[in-house]
Amino acid sequence: MEKIDFSQVSVLVVDDNMHMRKIVRALLMAFGVRQVQEAEDGASALEAFEQNSPDIIITDWVMPIIDGLELVQMIRRPDSSNNPFVPIIMLTGHAEKRRVMQARDAGVHEFLCKPISARSLYLRLYSVIAHPRPFVKTTTYFGPDRRRFANPLYKGPERREKRALIDIEDEQPDMNQIDFDAIDAGDQDTNQIDFDAIDAGGEDTNQIDFDAIDAGDQDTNQIDFDAIDAGGQEEEQERVAV
């Protein structure tokens, strides 16, 4: 994974817990981020977003007044938001599948579970900066393309039109999917993300742990996305092992 210069990146950290804000700030500063602004709830975060237009937002979910999910929904309104394309990382202590899908459907780019580590935060930042996803605008959704890969085995009708994809740079149709190359997958397989989907053992089947990237061959709880950036050179199919 190449090193990213964060010195010119501005980040808005939103969390009602002061200690968590300090932890996230310290990690960001260690990465090289020099512009970090804090907000203690969704209402003050919305004000800071409108005034300063940060490059990335890291927001907690459960907060008073306006929670993180409502904040994301407000920012993703293309008719009223200053920058509806801003990358958003959802930070929460709740990792149930239902919440992951809610956050995705609200328009977040990445989902990060507490307690966080320096590595897990860096990987989310790397993903939104190095591999931006095209945006989709439909009658019911505006946000980053929720498909992280194109399934070569899918034989049904197309569920969205090409014109629904918005390229942030030129606003032209863009069917490129996120390429997870070089996200710490190892030399053996660089087009792979290991979600370590059931990290807590048989007693916990609803938690998705995004921290476990590059778990190694001994870990079979992974989704293999070899077809993400195949470009016609690979014939791998989606493999889900749980």
Q: Give the E-state strand segments of 15-130 in sequence order.
A: 35-39, 56-60, 88-92, 110-113
CB 97 within 8 A of CB 208: yes
Summarize pLDDT for 85-113 with one digit per residue, the tens: 999 999 999 888 999 999 999 999 999 99
Classified as helix, coil or strand, 163 is: helix
The conformation of residue 8, written as its DSSP 8-state character, comes to T
Domain segments of the chain as ranges: 10-130, 134-176, 179-242
Return the CATH number of 10-130, one of 3.40.50.2300, 3.40.50.300, 3.30.43.10, 3.30.1330.10: 3.40.50.2300
**Predicted local distance difference test score (pLDDT) of residue 87:** 97
In the structure encoding, which two tokens stand for residue 179, read together? 């390429």
Per-residue pLDDT tens for 30-59? Answer: 999 999 999 999 999 999 999 999 999 999
Query: What is the sign, positive or negative, of the torsion defined by CA atoms of 129, 41, 26, 211?
Result: negative
* Spatial distance between the Cα atoms of 163 and 13, rounded to a whole number of angstroms: 33
Helix axes 42-52, 68-75, angle to 10 degrees: 30
**pTM of the shown model:** 0.64
